[in-house]
Chains A and B, each alone.
Chain A
């Protein structure tokens, strides 16, 4: 029973965000701090979860994922309500009649900082509630409902076509130079967010174009899943505009862009510096894994990334922890913060990457690693040339 409940932590976090956005002003700042610091502290304190429970009712777990869509809609709605000037959908009046809390008066007190942290919290929720579940659901290519819910969740970060690029691109090319989402050694996270976003969208478009050609369907037609993906985001943008004009639209774009950035930061952390020959099967060593308990419970085991890539068909609740896989620096939020500070990131990751070369890489991968070191621009890596080690023999 606990094992079903632990994945409801995700919904508890989403409801916390809705509550904080409903209360407005300083509560938005507190909402961000509580959720953000809570993650970092709980991952530090609670240690690892390496259980693999046997779920008799995986249907419950699927419903948990689908619930993310109303949850995320509620979060984004309440946030945009705070930056609108009227009372969209009469939400403020409803809250006042039920609880007596005057949302309109509370909104008057919103400071610039409150709104800033509101954007950050809303973007974090678009990443956590939207992208993580969207990722899990769009892997279920055989289930139309999951695909639809998943693509709408991704549309909040303008990224429905992640469902194309991720499965047919990233899972095929992970840890190779072909993969937009795998960061080469030496790249900083800010460059990665931009490059991976652009290359990922181009890749999704090309994959879809090729599919349509084979099916002899028009590129610019309703058959084009990539165009439909962009239109889904246009619908959400239109709704945001309808709530409060240009102001709500711009605030939504800011939150959505931050949500998309979080996805790319996570991509950055998950495969940074790893190398592979695309002709060899993907192994657990081709992802940075973490088994931090709180991250795992509240992120549907995305943390068990080594198994996810080695066996992409496995649903999240059956993923194994792989405690001897290459390990990420810490839980997800902690590692995100470290990634955002490039000097600290490289200081911590250079030894991990070198350890990966030494303990996990195949002989062929060490040759690829030498090339990656040479191009990294990091002196500590450029010194290491496995070919030299070989030649010295």
Chain B
């Protein structure tokens, strides 16, 4: 318009650690191109005010739309850092981004913590909110080991139920379901546990949202909602444009929970977002007008071609779902599942 952006050729930006380079259209900033192409680029204000999106220029030249000295430090300026939201490539670029990607690259730490809140979601699922002494950085979809000093020394694993923050979380959310005979689950359920001391170690696990543009099919059962909710809330914060179908299996209406949070996801999601709750034991004469049966009965109707699948729930549900997906020619490498078992099976419990 003012001759500022004369070159009309798309530019290529190589990001250290990512196999596929970004294609940046004329006039587009690095951040806009990254988010458009589904890369989880850290960011917040998008106007050059917060430095969340800073990245180091390894080669090439950019036009800066605002003065980065407002927010970058002396050292960062000297090291060639720029703000991705204010940098329009003038040439092909190579850049390095700290904290890029959703992959589980965070260091495992052990921290003491206190249960600061407990919210009952259903008759057998309670949400525990733990405040840690030191922040824990994790990827949405991962889990942590929880133990109660002096009471339950052998740790149980629980998925993080909320999206991570840049710089790590001091507050962690976990969904704990009552399991018959389960030591931790019943300890958490039975009494008001606010103020109790816990130990948290993590993060662990390689369940996280992979970089891709494919449609997403999420399948969650019971307290398996936790990692799916965290993963979707995190993707929302990064304006993920991928279409989502979310099948949520429960027994009856009173077993459905976090519906407000899921409605918020559906409302604010950049692309299509279909939420399908499926009830398996809802009385036939109830007012429920939604889907009935096993969640696996509804996969066929909602599976879009070339979908990537993310699922978490009881083992029987996951096994049935996987068999069904494979029968529909979904390759194994597009199916990511987070099985939880109770402590009797020596694995994850949510």
Asked whether A and B interact, the reply is: yes
Identity of the chain A residue whose Cβ is nearest the Cβ of B32 in the assembled complex: A313
User: Which chain B residues numbered 52 to 79 have a C-beta less than 8 Å away from chain A?
Assistant: 52, 63-67, 69-74, 77
Report the separation of the CA atoms of residues A235 and B74 in the bound assembly, to the nearest whole angstrom: 35
Q: Are A142 and B65 in contact (CB under 8 A)?
A: yes
Question: Does any Cβ of B come within 8 Å of A40's Cβ?
Answer: no
Q: Are B69 and A391 in contact (CB under 8 A)?
A: no
Q: Are A167 and B49 in contact (CB under 8 A)?
A: yes
Q: Are B67 and A211 in contact (CB under 8 A)?
A: yes
Which segment of B105-113, B159-167, B240-248, B325-333 sits at the interface? Answer: B159-167
Which of A143, A168, A285, A360 contacts B2 (CB under 8 A)? A143
Question: Does any Cβ of B come within 8 Å of A2's Cβ?
Answer: no
Report the separation of the CA atoms of residues A62 and B267 in the bound assembly, to the nearest whole angstrom: 33
Report the separation of the CA atoms of residues A284 and B49 in the bound assembly, to the nearest whole angstrom: 18
Q: Are A359 and B264 in contact (CB under 8 A)?
A: yes
Q: Are A168 and B71 in contact (CB under 8 A)?
A: yes
Q: Are B48 and A141 in contact (CB under 8 A)?
A: yes
Which segment of A107-115, A119-127, A256-264, A274-282 sits at the interface? Answer: A274-282
Which of B71, B237, B261 contacts A281 (CB under 8 A)? B237
Q: Are B267 and A172 in contact (CB under 8 A)?
A: no
Question: Does any Cβ of A come within 8 Å of B43's Cβ?
Answer: yes
Chain A residues whose CB sits within 8 angstroms of the CB of B117 once the complex forms = 367, 387, 390-391
Q: A141-B65, A391-B118 are in contact. Are A172 and B43 (CB under 8 A)?
A: no
Q: Are A142 and B66 in contact (CB under 8 A)?
A: yes
Q: Are A211 and B85 in contact (CB under 8 A)?
A: no
Question: Does any Cβ of A come within 8 Å of B173's Cβ?
Answer: yes
Identity of the chain B residue whose Cβ is nearest the Cβ of A164 in the assembled complex: B70
Identity of the chain A residue whose Cβ is nearest the Cβ of B88 in the assembled complex: A142
User: How far apart are B189's CB and chain A's nearest CB, in angstroms?
Assistant: 10
Q: Are B44 and A282 in contact (CB under 8 A)?
A: yes
User: Which chain A residues numbered 144 to 186 have a C-beta less than 8 Å away from chain B?
Assistant: 145, 167-169, 171-172
Question: Does any Cβ of A come within 8 Å of B316's Cβ?
Answer: no
Question: Does any Cβ of B come within 8 Å of A54's Cβ?
Answer: no
Q: Are B119 and A364 in contact (CB under 8 A)?
A: no
Chain B residues whose CB sits within 8 angstroms of the CB of A210 once the complex forms = 70
Chain B residues whose CB sits within 8 angstroms of the CB of A313 once the complex forms = 29, 32, 46-47, 65, 85
Identity of the chain A residue whose Cβ is nearest the Cβ of B121 in the assembled complex: A393
Q: Are A281 and B44 in contact (CB under 8 A)?
A: yes
Identity of the chain B residue whose Cβ is nearest the Cβ of A387 in the assembled complex: B117
Report the separation of the CA atoms of residues A367 and B73 in the bound assembly, to the nearest whole angstrom: 32
User: Which chain A residues numbered 227 to 281 have a C-beta less than 8 Å away from chain B?
Assistant: 277, 279-281
Chain B residues whose CB sits within 8 angstroms of the CB of A58 once the complex forms = 1
Q: A214-B77, A280-B165, A281-B43 are in contact. Are A171 and B49 (CB under 8 A)?
A: yes
Which of B2, B63, B261 contacts A363 (CB under 8 A)? B261
User: How far apart are B228's CB and chain A's nearest CB, in angstroms?
Assistant: 16
Chain B residues whose CB sits within 8 angstroms of the CB of A359 once the complex forms = 260, 263-264
Question: Does any Cβ of B come within 8 Å of A283's Cβ?
Answer: yes
Which of B46, B63, B67 contacts A312 (CB under 8 A)? B46
Query: 23 A-B pairs, CB-CB below 8 angstroms?
Result: A62-B1, A141-B47, A141-B66, A142-B65, A142-B66, A171-B47, A214-B73, A214-B74, A214-B77, A279-B166, A279-B167, A280-B237, A282-B45, A284-B268, A285-B268, A312-B45, A359-B260, A360-B264, A364-B171, A367-B117, A390-B117, A390-B118, A393-B126
Residues of A within 8 A of B (CB): 58-59, 62, 139, 141-143, 145, 167-169, 171-172, 207, 210-211, 214-215, 277, 279-285, 310-313, 324, 358-360, 362-364, 367, 387, 389-391, 393
Beyond the given A172-B50, A359-B264, please list 13 additional residue pairs across the A-B interface where CB-CB is below 8 A.
A62-B1, A139-B47, A141-B47, A169-B49, A171-B46, A283-B268, A313-B32, A313-B85, A359-B260, A360-B264, A362-B162, A362-B233, A364-B171
